[in-house]
Amino acid sequence: MEQKPTLMLVDGMALLFRAFFATAVTGQFMINSKGVPTNGIHGFVKHFLTAVSSFKPTHVAVCWDMGSKTFRTEIFQDYKANRSEAPVELIPQFDLVKEVVEAFNVPNIGLAGYEADDCIGTIAKNMDGDLNISILTGDRDILQLLDERVSVILLQKGYGNYLVHTPETFYEEKGISPNQMIDLKALMGDPSDNYPGVKGIGEKTALKLVQQFEHVEGIVSNLDQLTKSQKAKIEQDLEMLYLSRQLAEIKCDVPIEYSLEEAILNYKHDHVLNKFQELEFKGLHKMLQTEKEYA
């Protein structure tokens, strides 16, 4: 039986940040002779090539955040306001890493006003054709996109360690379906994205309510069945509950352009090697695919 084509959607920021901070703690910024730090890009490439050789996708695209202002900051100005400015050593790596992705002949996708997750969601949910989709990230928020053809590869510590989620494994872990994660986060909020949900409702209670009433609407229309304290908390924070749900939901209708054909994984060795040399990378060339020589 012929293998279905697989599109791997990569959360570029998640890989770059993870790679940068893994070495930044010890001050290893890998500054090259031009004075440019390259530690994040170096680690990004290592994550990227390790995942490609582990999962062997036929198609790959990398999605990016495009600045910190998005439709979410417009509806809630404190969204992600707890994040500090990017470290000065990381700033020049944002554009350079995209050049490296281009050298692999892989599309960079992103749109101002939206997050990488929204671009990933849009492609994952609207891509025509009979193909499997895997999403490579370190961010659990993306698990809401899981379905029968979308799996999520979560990066674990180090390189080459993954936790692969399907709707079944997610249900085993949480006892809810992937899209109910949006309602879960609406109730409990998300400290890393800096929105509160309903004050005083933690994950345990939120899970119980979502399991019992399915979604935010179900909970709100059955407030009389809740305990007195749960009811009071939700009534008091009703507006924030709905707002948090809006913030938690990945948008799957972002007006981006993408094509499956452009995402075919097919890179020229020399292009990539030239880029590696320009950045003064050592050792990474050994990770390039040799079993399948590209034209």
pLDDT in tens, 257-275: 999 999 999 999 999 999 9
Count the domains in the chain: 2
Sequence-separated (6 or more) residues with CB below 8 Å from residue 288 = 49, 269, 272, 273
Which residue, chain included where needed, has tokens 């020049």? 92
> The pTM is what?
0.95
Is 1 part of a structural domain of the chain? no
Confidence of residue 106 (pLDDT cuts 50, 70, 90): very high
Residues 169 and 240 in one domain: no
pLDDT in tens, 231-265: 999 999 999 999 999 999 999 999 999 999 999 99
Is 293 part of a structural domain of the chain? no
Residues 163 and 25 in one domain: yes
Is 290 part of a structural domain of the chain? no
Contact 127, 260 (CB under 8 A): yes
Residues 186 and 152 in one domain: no
- CATH number of 202's domain: 1.10.150.20
Q: Which of 282, 284, 279, 285 is nearest to 37 (CA)?
A: 279
Residues 272 and 243 in one domain: no
**Whether residue 224 has pLDDT greater than 60:** yes
pLDDT of residue 2: 62
pLDDT in tens, 116-132: 999 999 999 999 889 99
**Whether residue 294 has pLDDT greater than 80:** no
Residues 119 and 243 in one domain: no
Query: What value does the mean pLDDT take over residues 54-80?
Result: 96
As a whole-number percent, the residues of the chain with pLDDT over 90 amount to 91
Is 294 part of a structural domain of the chain? no
As a whole-number percent, the residues of the chain with pLDDT over 70 amount to 97
Residues 233 and 100 in one domain: no
Confidence of residue 1 (pLDDT cuts 50, 70, 90): low
**Whether residue 17 has pLDDT greater than 70:** yes
Residues 34 and 105 in one domain: yes
pLDDT in tens, 185-199: 999 999 999 999 999
Is 231 part of a structural domain of the chain? yes
Mapping DSSP to helix (H, G, I), strand (E, B) and coil, where does residue 291 land?
coil
Domain that holds residue 228: 176-248
Is 291 part of a structural domain of the chain? no
Confidence of residue 293 (pLDDT cuts 50, 70, 90): very low
Sequence-separated (6 or more) residues with CB below 8 Å from residue 181 = 141, 143, 144, 170, 174, 248
Residues 13 and 157 in one domain: yes
Residues 73 and 100 in one domain: yes
Is 209 part of a structural domain of the chain? yes
Residues 114 and 256 in one domain: yes
Residues 133 and 224 in one domain: no
